[in-house]
Structure 1
Amino acid sequence: MAVDEATKKQDELELYQIDDKAIIPFFESHVEELRKFIHDREWQHLSLLEYLKQFIRTYKLPFNMQRYMSVQTTYIKQMLQERVQDRQIAVSHWIQEHAGRHRNRMIQLQCLYLDRIKDRLLPEIQKILEKRIENLQSKMDENH
């Protein structure tokens, strides 16, 4: 199925909303979960980029939660402007109807963004993982 031009333009606009500076700190703060995630799936023999995408899709975590919530709040406000019903009911309704799709869309955009920055991202993530494995190995060596 072909993607129309409006969708492509929307994707481009939303990709620029991703906080580039939050990506490395995101993976640093989740390095142990990422290491275990990759270890449990080594049999798949995927590239590091594909493991990163699977990790993001599995855990559905935005790179920058504060920015994600801000964008979501903007979407909610836009929807509320079109409604005259009670604000709290409208927010609750929006969350029930749209929050899951909004998060899934954001996660998909993050994966697309990883494709764009893979050349500079993957070496840094590889170093983070190697450092974590070295730290775990040295702890094991100390205990023996």
Structure 2
Amino acid sequence: MFKIATTPKMMEDAYNIRKEVFVREQGVPLENEIDEHENIATHVVGYDKKDIPFATGRFRPYKDGVKIERVAIIKTHRNSGLGKLLMSFLEEVAINKNYRNLMLNAQYHARPFYESLGYHTIGEIFLEENIEHIAMIKKI
């Protein structure tokens, strides 16, 4: 179901999911969505039983751990538990790379979801791409 992106096609699948969710649905400018961290990040893509890409996320080295970013699931596959599976897979891959400190900037409305996975808020709400976010951390 979830795989580390290792081919140009898998990277294209990840970008297309992000464009659908962040650019089309949430109005993030494309030039801000694709950034300078693409080449250093570990990207993950989720494929359903029909081999249709439905989810993506990435992480990159950050401070004394990793920063999880660009977590997205297409609308047709939301609210079915797949977000938890995606996050578990991202965390497993990070652990396998010997990272224990996880950080992310959650969209504020998704804070309860990340809290249910063991993340804790730090700091205050801030705007990123005109969307309220909150920094969150988890130690494994």
What band does the TM-score fall into relative to the shorter chain? under 0.3
Structure with higher RCO (Cα < 8 A, 6+ apart): 1
| Structure index of larger Rg | 1
Structure 1 length as normaliser, TM-score?
0.23
Higher strand share: 2
Structure 2 length as normaliser, TM-score?
0.23
Higher helix share: 1
